[in-house]
Amino acid sequence: MRITRRDIMTGGLAALATGQAMQAFAATEMALGPAQLTTLSDGNLVLPLDFLIGDLPQAQATEALAQHGITGDTLTPPCNLTLYRDGTNTVLFDAGSGPAFMPSAGKLRDALDAAGVAPDEVTHVLFTHAHPDHLWGVLDDFDDPVFANAAHMIGQAEHAYWTDPATVGTIGEARASFAVGAARRLEAIADRLETFTPGQEVLPGILAHDTRGHTPGHVSFEIGQGNSAVMVVGDAIGNGHLALAHPGWASGADQNAEQGIATRLRLLDRLATEGMPMVGFHLPGGGLGRVERAGDAYRFVTEV
């Protein structure tokens, strides 16, 4: 297994035409036997701090975040997508935000271009869940599918939840737009969308795991080649600070806090015990690293 880090420079034709500065997209690469895994930046989110803190005691949570250099009223988590190429399939895990969610995100097209991959070369798009920063990038500015030649795959429970007309009225006002947007996009790609259940090998060497809690049908994907494996965890481990330093604390980002805690503790224990690398969608350094135990807590190590 070989892991390297490099910066890919890209600007795109639009940037060249307007004279805008080139943009750098940090990419982390990992060899899995003959296959290659690359993380790509979709930019970052800008979120109110209470989106993460939720019902936690304000002072305690603020002090814990300050220990990680996070102060102020907002968070700016990175968005790391995973590209996996095994010589037969070109697989993208999640699709990013697209143009309609936040101006700080939706940079995937540029990152793919920097990696030398055209959207029509992607053979499969696998979703961890259907939140905007993971799903909305399936459509472009004209509401046409971005990955025109790809099969799109989502967990059965996740699909059922976001396509249920009752969801928009029960998910809460703050996330109602998530439900409307997910239903519209899932309908738009319905003719190329497949569902699966956790425990299923969705593609050769790619196993889906039940990691519900962040959403009702959230899944993580274990990618294996020979004796090497990596876990794409999506938002089951949602950040590199509270989720690891205080994994038993509820996260305001999880739709079911208690399920989220149970999933997080189980996943962290396995990753630390087995020493398996993982990719976290909102973790630092491109999202690829290992989990190590730190007393009763954990830490994320990007240099492996």
Q: What is the rounded distance in angstroms from the CA atom of residue 111 to the CA atom of residue 127?
A: 18
Q: What is the pLDDT of residue 68?
A: 86
Answer whether 280's CB lies under 8 Å from 287's CB: yes
Tokens encoding 82: 């995973």
CATH number of the domain bearing residue 241: 3.60.15.10
The residue type found at 74 is: T
Query: What are the Cα distances from residue 208, in Å, to 69, 200, 257?
Result: 34, 6, 22
- Please list, in sequence order, all residues whose beta carbon lies within 8 angstroms of the beta carbon of residue 188, skipping any fewer than 6 positions away: 138, 139, 143, 145
Question: pLDDT tens for residues 288-303?
Answer: 999 999 999 999 999 6
Tally the C-alpha atoms within 13 A of residue 130's C-alpha that lie toward its C-beta: 32
Query: Which among 137, 104, 126, 302 has a CA at the least distance from the CA of 222?
Result: 126
Q: What is the pTM of this model?
A: 0.92
Residue 12 has pLDDT above 50, yes or no: no
Q: Which domain holds residue 32?
A: 2-301
Residue 16 has pLDDT above 60, yes or no: no
Q: What is the rounded distance in angstroms from the CA atom of residue 119 to the CA atom of residue 121?
A: 5
Q: Kindly report the number of other CB atoms within 10 A of residue 207's CB atom.
A: 18
Give the pLDDT band of residue 26 (cuts 50, 70, 90): low
Q: Kindly report the number of other CB atoms within 10 A of residue 142's CB atom.
A: 6
Question: pLDDT tens for residues 122-142?
Answer: 999 999 999 999 999 999 999
- Domains contained in the chain, number: 1
Query: What are the Cα distances from residue 44, in Å, to 1, 23, 36, 95, 284?
Result: 29, 14, 24, 14, 11
